[in-house]
Amino acid sequence: MQSTCIIGGGPAGMMLGLLLARAGLPVTVLEKHNDFFRDFRGDTTHPSTLQVMHELGLLPGLLRLPHTELRRASAVVGGRTFPIADFTHLPVAAPFIALMPQWDLLNFLAERAARYPTFQLRMGHQATGLLYDSTGQVSGVTVRTANGEESLRADLVVGCDGRHATSVTAAHLPVVETGVPIDVLWFRIPRQHDDPENGLGYVNFGHLVVLINRGGYFQVGFLIRKDGLPGLQQRGLPAFQQLLARIVPFLAGRVDSLHSWVDIKLLTVQLNHLERWAVPGLLCIGDAAHAMSPVGGIGINIAIQDAIAAANRLVPALQRDAVTVHDLLSVQHYREATIRRTHGFQRLAHKVLNQILQAEGAMRPPLAIRVLTRLPGAQRLAGRLIGMGLQPQHVQTPEQAF
C-alpha cells in the first residue's frame, strides 16, 4: 500500500484523510495551525455534504453538534422579501443547509478519522516545500514544526492548502486568475432569539448583507467593491454602522457592538483555477486547484466533493502500489467541467452584485426577481442547484475491517 501526505487540514484535506484511512491506507494530514479555530470561515454545510455524512454513518453524530437548519432561503431586496430557494423536497437524509462553525466540522472529521490506525494528524506542522526523487517525481514534503525543519516522505502528496498553496508554488503550477469586482467584510453582531431568519441576504443602498445564524450572534458578510475598504474607513466607523442599520433595520440597536475596524475582517475574494492539477507524485484539489467565491456558500461543499472524487479514483491504485500521474489527472478530468460551470455561475453572480454596488439610494426590486420568484418550480430548482451542486458525489470506497 502506498502512503499519502495531505497538506492542509481544511474540508478537502480532512475528508480525504478520513476516506483514505477508512480504506486502510496510511495517510498523514499536515495542518500548519495548532487548532482549527479560524473565525469567518464558511459555515454552510449543504445537503450534498450532509448526504455524504449519512452514507458514512456519521450524520447523527454531526447533527448533535450545535447548528441551525436552513430549509428555505429568501432575500430581502429594497425592503421586500422574496423566497428564492426551497431545500425541503430534496431526496436526501437531511434536506436543509446546516449552519455550523467550520472548526466544529473539521474537529468532527478529525475525531472520526483518528479511530482508524492508519491515520495521523499533525497540528502545528507547516509544509514549506516539496521533496523529489531522482526521477523528478514528488516524493514528500519539507515541514516546519515547533522543533525545527523535518522531511516527510510519501508516495503521494495531495495539496489541500487553499488559495495561497505551498503545493502550487513549489510545483510551479500555472494559476489562471479571473478578475473579481467584489470583496467581503466579515464581523459579528449580537443576535436575539426572535430575529428573522434569512438565507441569502439583505440588498439595499448599494450593498448586500448576509447574516449567518450562529446562535448567540450573527456572522455578518458585508459586500463591498473590490479594494473598497480604505474608502469606508476614511468615512469613519459611525458612518459604516449607520449604513449597516439602514440595510438591516432590526440591527440598528446593535451596530455599536463594532468598537473599531479591528472587529471587521477583510476577505479578499478570488476566482482562479490551475491549468493542471497534478504532476507526478502530487495532486491539488479544493481551493488549491480552483479558488471559489463566497457566492452561494459552496466552498466547503465543492472541496469535499473534490475529496470524495479523488478517493473514489485513487484508493484502488494506492492499494495496488500503482498510482500514476494519469490517475491523478483523471480527478481533474472528472471534476474540471463542473468547476468551470460553477465558476461561470459565480462570474454571472458577480456581474449582478457589481450592479448592486453601483446603485445609489434605496433599491427598487428589479423586475427579473419579481417575475422569477413567482415561476412555478423556481424555488425547488434553486434549492437543487444550491443544495446539491452540479455534480454531487457519493462514497464508493469500502471501509477496511481492522
Region 285-308: mean pLDDT is: 94
Same-domain pairing of 152 and 8? yes
Same-domain pairing of 237 and 300? no
Same-domain pairing of 281 and 311? yes
Q: Is residue 86 a part of any domain in this protein?
A: no
CA–CA separation, 7 vs 125, rounded Å?
9
CA–CA separation, 349 vs 334, rounded Å?
25
Q: Would you place residue 216 in the very low, low, confident or very high pLDDT band (cuts 50, 70, 90)?
A: confident
**312 backbone dihedrals φ, ψ, rounded to 5°:** -60, -35
Same-domain pairing of 164 and 42? yes
C-alpha grid cell, residue 333: 478530468
Q: Which domain holds residue 200?
A: 182-225+227-267
Region 202-207: mean pLDDT is: 91
Q: Is residue 331 a part of any domain in this protein?
A: yes
Query: Is pLDDT of 271 > 80?
Result: yes
What total number of domains does the chain contain?
A: 2
Q: Which residues pair with 201 in a beta bridge?
A: 75
pLDDT number for residue 234:
96
Region 142-153: mean pLDDT is: 95
Region 50-54: mean pLDDT is: 98
C-alpha grid cell, residue 299: 466552498
Of all residues in the chain, the percent with pLDDT exceeding 90 is 76
Q: Is residue 374 a part of any domain in this protein?
A: no
Read off the pTM: 0.93
